[in-house]
Amino acid sequence: MKRPGRVVMLVDNTVDGDSRVQKSARAMAEAGWEVHLLGKAPKTGRDEYSIGPARVLRVPLKHLVAKKTLRLRLHRLRYPLAYTAKNRIEFKQNQIAVDTAELLVGSAGDAVRTGISRKRSTGRRVPHVVQRAAAKARRSFIAARARQTPAALDARVKHDGTLENIEAVFWTAVMGDRAWRRLDPLPFRYEISFSAELDRLKPDLIHAHDFRMLGVAARYVARARRAGRTVRFVYDAHEFVPGLNAPGKKWLAAQIAYEREHIGYADAVVTVSPALAEMLEESHDLTERPEVTLNAPPKLIPGQRGAWATDSGAKHVREACGLDDATPLAVYCGAAGPQRGLHTVVESLQYTDDLHAAFVINNLDGAYVKSLRTLAEDIGVADRIHLMPYVPYDVLVGFLSTADVGIHPLRKGPVNHEVALSTKFFEFMQAGLPVAVSDVKAMSDEVTRVGNGEVFRSEDSKDLAGAVGRILANRERYTAPYEQPGMLDEWSWEVQTEKYVALYERLLG
């Protein structure tokens, strides 16, 4: 059924690997709306493609001249001789080497005889002693600049310190929620990069995914309304901004201010978990609690477990690992990083005899993944870990379904970890896998309520091994809840999509 209204979804990434964004665009297009998904171009440049009936457009971000921070201004005073780049040091040193060679020739030219008769060169020459003095002064000056350069350049990458805190306090006091303009103007890059496409597409509804797109959408809506057009605006909050893993207080202050300034322009707010909905309502004094749309996967069709072929040719994770049905296999899927706790899974293998662990992850060559390989070799379990790239979201559940248990080892502590009901949590359930989760609040509470797994202490590898052992010893007990009629329906994307459809219908009429 064709529905009236053009929808533009905005996201601050390249779309790849963002299953919620991909699923949302495809679902709303299949529900009848004309959907365009606007994201950031990869290194290969601008491109367009389709996700089902939804169109994806990825555009390069335009460059802005960065504002000079307080640290850079003070470091310029402290290190006035520093070069702007380290390669300038090498260039100047090479130049000195050439000058030195010239001086050696000049000093020896009058005294050394080669036996070849030639006329003396003409032209006035600066006395050699003067040339040597000038060269020495030049070498000393370049050496002084070289010594100052590393410290000055380090200031460009530092995000957290006393100077940054001073900036955050000062600009927040002076500008309030507008302070992000001085603290982190990156959103302006999205603004100037996406605005032309928004003007061309003329959407009736903008669906802004995550906080970075909030201001871009709010500003377009304001421009459209001044031109006499009514544009509806949905903010899809994926995380609690004050709880982000920030590179520094200054950066975090900017993001909080950015969200707080623009969230009031949204016609509706949706988010990913009940706990996060409550926190958003309270922190922004919203007039109504945001709608919760769980980031659940599509349902697994009965009888089709392991019936999908991936790019590698493997139909399921057990085949990708080269394991038979009798070998116990645990699986993790998602991003790879220290806060995800993958090292805990690797360490836990030393407390088991035959358990293997598969990691379906986004980056096989990063420093953290390399550390996992080293750790596995050090403790003698390298032959029992299996690292493989992402599998598309629409085949992932079937791919995972031949494992024995899903592990979610998220590190305890950060606010967004405590309130998360993450994608992989529901993917394990739809795949029919019992789960072992760390004791982060939302997911551990849900596992305890449903009875489909065990909870272990965060970053305690021995406790994780014990939890997996209990599950494997009585696996049927933990998969029994999935057999209850309708149990998995609420945790499916098909049911969650209905909430988006109802919201779009209310806003677009």
Task: Give the whole-angstrom CA distance, residue 446 versus residue 452.
Answer: 9
Q: Collapse the DSSP code of 55 into the 3-class scheme (helix H, G, I; strand E, B; otherwise coil) and give the result.
A: strand
pLDDT one-digit tens code per residue, 393-408: 888 999 999 999 999 9
Which residues have CB under 8 Å from 266's CB, separation 6+? 208, 214, 217, 218, 233, 234, 235
Supply the pLDDT for residue 56: 97
Going by their DSSP bridges, the two strands 54-59 and 205-209 should be labelled as unpaired
Yes or no: say if 377 and 364 are a contact pair by the CB < 8 Å rule.
Answer: no
Supply the pLDDT for residue 6: 96
> pLDDT tens, position by position, for the chain (509 residues)?
788 899 999 999 999 889 999 999 999 999 999 999 999 999 889 999 999 999 999 999 998 766 677 776 666 666 777 777 777 777 777 777 776 766 665 555 544 445 555 555 555 566 777 777 777 787 788 787 777 777 666 665 556 678 888 888 998 999 999 989 888 888 889 999 999 999 999 999 999 999 999 999 999 999 999 999 999 999 999 999 999 987 788 899 999 999 999 999 999 999 999 999 999 999 999 999 999 999 999 887 665 555 555 566 788 999 999 999 999 999 999 999 999 999 999 999 999 999 999 999 988 888 999 999 999 999 999 999 999 998 888 889 999 999 999 999 999 999 999 999 999 999 999 999 999 999 999 999 999 999 999 999 999 999 999 999 999 999 999 999 999 988 888 889 999 999 999 999 999 98
Going by their DSSP bridges, the two strands 34-40 and 54-59 should be labelled as parallel
pTM of the model: 0.80
Yes or no: say if 271 and 277 are a contact pair by the CB < 8 Å rule.
Answer: yes
373-to-31, 123, 333, 346, 348 alpha-carbon distances in Å: 44, 68, 17, 9, 14
User: Using CA atoms in the order 46, 48, 49, 55, what is the torsion angle rounded to 10 degrees?
Assistant: 130
Yes or no: say if 471 and 352 are a contact pair by the CB < 8 Å rule.
Answer: no
